[in-house]
Amino acid sequence: MASVKVSAAKSTPLARNLPTFITFDKPMHEQTVHDLKKAITAKNPKASSSCVVLKLTLKGESKPLADHSTLKEAGVEDGSEVTVKDLGPQIGWRTVYLIEYAGPLVIHPLIYHFPRLFFGGAVQHSVLQKYVYAAVMLHFIKRELETLFVHRFSHGTMPFRNVFKNSGHYHILSGLLLAYSVYSPTFAANSPYIRGTIRENPNFLWSCLAVWLFAELSNLSAHLTLRSLRPAGTTKRAIPYGYGFSLVSCPNYFFETVAWTVIAVMTGSYAAWLFLVVGTYQMAVWAIKKHKNYKKEFGKDYPANRKAMFPFIF
């Protein structure tokens, strides 16, 4: 038998029953960090294992413990002490994504089909508006389906408060702001901004849609490649190869940027450009972080010529 001392990182409701000792009837190499979390929450019924972060302090340095690691792999030995932190109310990542993408799927049809409520009169939709509406709706329907059937998440939950911050990006920027701008009379069929300009030229519009479709399908391909690397129910990581990955670590972000660049170029809308800039910046931050993690985890085995997000640039 082996035991682990569990103490609290700070005073929370979870800390009321701490410190305590968790005793296992199996050796450390047969117990995972997740097993330890379940044992802790069993003594604290009001807490969920998804709300708990465990850290082990060795030689004065504290490191978080990954759920899938065995206690032995994590450095936890018989008699070791780990600290627990209660993250508070949680919500599933999959649920958050579904909420995020649902916003534009509700907002765009409302503004497109009921212009009198938003602009005070009817809007004769231009071909441009019809194409952008179809592209935006298809994009977010694709994202919802990917969330349900393609994506696998290494983390099961996130703090509940994050759902408001994350949703705001999509509901406001690519939802309300973009829809109100693009479906307004400014972009209507009889508007001088459209009449006689390239924005009603069929060749221009179809060329844009072709690039958009290429980017969306390429983005889907990257997501399917990432899914194939992680068996269901695991947090396994491997080096991705294949279409797009020969040039960058995060081709899904690159192709997402291309797709939204098309919408911005087609419309020239300030809202489309704003969403593109904000979204590209955030994806670049994520891409750089993932790129560094890949290089750190796989070392010399990771292709040295790959960039983080933009081919040949960074």
Fold of 2-88: Ubiquitin-like (UB roll) (3.10.20)
| pLDDT of 311 strictly over 70 | yes
Q: How confident is the model at residue 184 (pLDDT cuts 50, 70, 90)?
A: very high
| pLDDT of 71 strictly over 70 | yes
Average pLDDT value for residue range 87-114: 91
Could you please report the per-residue DSSP string of 243-264?
A: TTTTTBS-HHHHHHHHHHHHHH
Tens of pLDDT, residue by residue over 81-92, are: 777 776 667 788
pTM for this predicted structure? 0.82
The one-letter code for the residue type at 44 is N
For residue 19, whether the previous peptide bond is cis, meaning omega lies within 30 degrees of 0, is: yes
Domain boundaries, the chain: 2-88, 92-301
* Interatomic CA distance for residues 312 and 29, integer angstroms: 44
Cα pseudo-dihedral 219, 179, 164, 291, rounded to 10:
30
Quote the pLDDT of residue 219.
98
| pLDDT of 258 strictly over 80 | yes
